[in-house]
Structure formats: structure tokens, C-alpha cells
Structure 1
Amino acid sequence: MTSPTAETVRWKTDFFDDFDRFDPDNWQDQILWVNQEDQCYLRDGRHNTREVSDGSLKLRVVDLGSKQPCDNLSKDGERHPDTRYVGGRITTKNLREFSRGKWTARLRVKNSGQPGMFPAWWLLGARNNEPPVQEEDETVCWPLPGSGEIDIFEHHSDGGPDHYAARAIDSQGFCGGGDWQGHMLVQAADLDRFHEYSVEWLGEDIVFRLDEQEVYRLVGWGDRIDEPMFAVLNFAKINDSPMTGDWTMEVDWVRHQYLD
């Protein structure tokens, strides 16, 4: 099958959230401990870790000033150690899940490039077995088929400001076995300004776009990650470096579209 060109594609919208309010029909908190993250995810936006105001969503990492207990659990059931840092993470899991199509978010990151920053906009397969587990078929460990991962926007502070990564995780065929580097683009962008970050399935290919311009194409991946997927927005902290200023990822809107 020949992949259509951008000029021939007609998209129709089947999900759009412009964050006039926090809509529980679209999003829920996701509370877990992964990647040895230093912050603790909180529910219900406590300590200002999640706010919807003035038509946008704000996810933050906040320094509480002293270590506090954290109830986040790892995949192995290990409890997160006490920490002074708290953050926000939300997901469309079991609420808005789609196979293929085009996911886009318009967002920006304040004070990008600081040590430890790890904001992200990404997708996971709908049968993923991480919390919240709410359906009987949520039994597949990452990143096996049914629990695949696509990172549309991921700002890892180790590379400094004004860049982000986009990738698909290549499953190595066992739980926890994922190739993070083999199918990744590192792209320059002024992260303090709003941009549209997208991924779409065009025939046999998966295509990443920045402000509608193609920046990366994974040829032949269209059938490799074909399961329904849910979206995740989160702001994590990956080491104990001190924070400076306001750590906020501001999201203007999120949209999913399908081919007409």
C-alpha cells in the first residue's frame, strides 16, 4: 500500500479538549512510580500540580521545601521514597482511546533546560497493565504489542533548552525490553513558545510533525504499532537537582483526528 501524501489527506476530528475546564470524561490522574522519577504524582491537582485556568491546562513540578510521604508504587509494588517534589500526570486511559489517526497537542514549557526536567506528551497501548487497571484486558506489560509507546514530545533536560525528542519504542519481545534510541529524533524548537506537536499514521508510515511540518518519518511502522492507544501528559523530575523558577508545561488543547 502506498502512503498518502500530506496534501491528499483529509482529517476529521473525533476528540478535542480545549481545557475550558478539567473534564473527567476525557482525563484521569495516573498515579504510579516509573523511571526512578524523583517527584511524587498527586491526585486532584493538590499543591498546584494540576490547574485548568484561562483556557489551558498547567501541569507542574512543585518543590514543597521538605520531604513528604509518597504513596506512588513501582511496577514491582515498591513504594516511592519520601520526597520534597510533587508533580502532575493525567491520561485518557479507558476514556479516549484510538487506533491510528492523528494526535496533536499545542503546548509550551516554561524555563526549559533545567537539570532534572522531564515533561512529556505521549501515547501508550490500551492494554497496558500499569495503573489505573480498570478493564479485564489490561494485562500486557510494556512494550509488548498492545502496550506499545510513541513519544510525541519529550523534553529531557540533559540536552539543554530548546530541544525535544520524538520516538517510537521498539519492543525487544520481553517485559521491560524497549529500544529507546534506535527510532528517535532530537528536534530543535523554542520550547517557551506554543507549538503544535503531532504524530499521525499515513498508510504504512508513522509521521511526526512540528507545527504541521514533517520532522521525522518511521517507514513501515504503520502496522507495527496498530493497537488502540491512550494519551498521557505529565511533568516529571528525574534527579534531585534543585529547581529554579516555575516548572510548568502549559497545554492549550489536545486533539485526535481520523482519516476521512
Structure 2
Amino acid sequence: MSCKTKNEEQKEKTSSTEAKIWEVDFLDEFDTFNPDNWQDQRIWVNNETHCYVPNGKFGTREASDGTLKLKVVQIDDKRSCDNFDKHGEQHPDTEYVAGRITSKNKKEFIKGKWTAKLKLSSSGEPSMFPAWWLLGARNNEPPMQEVDENICWPLTGSGEIDIFEHHGDHHKNRFTTGAIKSLDECDKGDWWSLRKDFEVILDEYHEYSVEWEDSDLLYRVDGEEIYRNVGQGDKYPEPMFAILNFAKITDSPMESKEWVMEVDWVKHEYRK
């Protein structure tokens, strides 16, 4: 019979896992915007009050000086928006435009470790909602480019893991991380039980990551574990793609004309 405590067993398990070597199989340092890695995603979700625009229009998506800048920009007047929600409803006219990119059908991976190094130009402003997150590759939201993209969120095949979200309406210099728990029905997800807020200086660069460690999802900031979803890793067995976006989610006016999320790099690794 083992006399080891649970803590001792966990330490042995973690030590054994960490002894394995991470190998990089995807790295984008954003010297340019590489269409082999990313595509713009124009979709209306979460009652967002902006319009996602393509090709960096209005400066909403720019790769320069070795970083990617994704922005929410307030333009001079309300314009029509060609974003539709999953039910086919078109976004109303809006004076806000934004950038959102996805690696869907470009770079998709099963498990492993995803990391992005990023910072915000400011934090804590009402309506701010920048994010770095993953979705299952069979997600049935636009763009739908493959015949098997027919699974609704957040069922297996279309599961969601949020590595970094900043809710400006609630806190300055705080972010949320964790998985969305599927309730086994289309469009039915538990946003609260597997997610948690943490303090960090958001206008400084940090590395935000999630990795599969045995059956757990382990979240890190700058390489240090801050949180884990125990037993949830096996519930995300599907290939997943990455999304980076800066959203505006309520009608609160912008205190400045422009919000920026700057991304130094994104990478995926696997255990060798």
C-alpha cells in the first residue's frame, strides 16, 4: 500500500511530465501578416457592438515592427456592417470597427501547448473585451470551408478554451482564463464554473498559455502555473484552432478613439 500523500503523487506526476521536451511545430513572429497561418474572421457574436472588417481596414489589423496590432477603432460616423450572427441576422450600423483573426483551416492542432506573448495599450475601460482563445476545428460558424464543419458550440468538436480574456467593465489589470463547460446541447455552455480571474499588469508583455497535462488543462503566465481545469483535458480531444480578437461588447462610449492588443508572437508545441 502506498504511503505517499496526494501532494507527493502530484509532484511526481508533474516532474515526470515536465521531463519531456516541448517541440515547436508552429511559430508566427508577425514580421508580416501570413495568410498561410491566419485569416480574418467576420462574425457577429456575444452582442458585440462593433463590425469586424477585413484586410486591416481602418487600421484594425496591422503587422509592423515585428508585432501584430489588433484594434477597436471609433470611426467618424455609423456605417453598414456585413457581419452576420449564426442565425443569419445582420449586425446593425455601427461607428466601431475591429480586428479578429483565426488560424481555422490554416493551423490546427490536437492538444499540446498554445502560447501567445501579448499586451494591451490600456485596460479597465468599459466595453473592452480582447481575447486569445481556442475553438474546435469542426465549429460550424463562419468561415465554413470544410464539409465536416457542422458541430455547434460548445459540443465536442467545437469546444472552447479561453486562454486570455480581459473584461474592461469589471476590472483594470485583471484577466480571465479557463475552459467553457459544455452542457451537451447546442449553444448551451457554462461560462463560470471552470474559469477564474487573475491580476496582471496588462500594458506589459506577458506569455499566456494553456497546455494539456495528462487529463488536466494547465494555464500559465510567463511559464508559471496559475490555474488548472482538473480532468477537463480529455474533454477537448479535437483539433483546435486559435483566435485573436479585440471586441467591444456594450454600448459604453470609448474613452479613447482606439484600443490596441499587441501580439509579439504565437506558437504551438507538442511533447516529444
State the TM bucket, normalised to the shorter chain: over 0.9
Aligned residue in 2 for 1:18: 29
- Structure 1 unmatched ranges of 5 or more: none
Which runs of 4 or more aligned residues in structure 1 lie more than 2 Å from their structure 2 counterparts after TM superposition? 2-7
Q: Deviation digits for residues 165-207 of structure 1, max 9, x if unmatched?
A: 0010110011110000000110100000000000000111110
Q: In the TM superposition, what are the counterparts of 1:172-251 in structure 2 within 5 Å?
A: 172-245=183-256, 246-251=258-263
Aligned residue in 2 for 1:258: 270
Higher gyration radius (CA): 2
Aligned residue in 2 for 1:42: 53
SS in 2 for 1:253: strand
Q: In the TM superposition, what are the counterparts of 1:25-104 in structure 2 within 5 Å?
A: 25-104=36-115
Residues 1:142 and 2:119 are matched in the alignment: no
Letter in 2 for 1:92: S
Aligned residue in 2 for 1:114: 125
Larger CA deviation: 217-226 vs 14-23: 217-226
1:9 and 1:210 map into 2 onto residues whose CA distance is: 20
1:222: Cα distance to partner?
A: 1.8
Contact persistence 1:40–1:72 (CA under 8 A): yes
SS in 1 for 2:58: helix
**TM-score between both structures, scaled by the size of structure 2:** 0.93
Q: Give the superposed CA RMSD.
A: 1.3
Of residues 134, 156, 159, the one that matches 1:123 is: 134
Q: Deviation digits for residues 17-74 of structure 1, max 9, x if unmatched?
A: 0000000000000011000000000000000000000000000000012111001000
Letter in 2 for 1:12: E
2:157 and 2:134 map into 1 onto residues whose CA distance is: 12
Aligned residue in 1 for 2:6: none
1:216 and 1:10 map into 2 onto residues whose CA distance is: 21
Larger CA deviation: 82-91 vs 245-254: 245-254
Contact persistence 1:4–1:203 (CA under 8 A): no
* Number of residue-to-residue matches in the alignment: 260
1:34 and 1:109 map into 2 onto residues whose CA distance is: 22
Aligned residue in 2 for 1:153: 164
Sequence identity (%):
58
**TM-score between both structures, scaled by the size of structure 1:** 0.98
1:9: Cα distance to partner?
A: 3.3
1:10 and 1:188 map into 2 onto residues whose CA distance is: 29
Letter in 1 for 2:97: V
1:244: Cα distance to partner?
A: 2.2
1:234 and 1:4 map into 2 onto residues whose CA distance is: 32
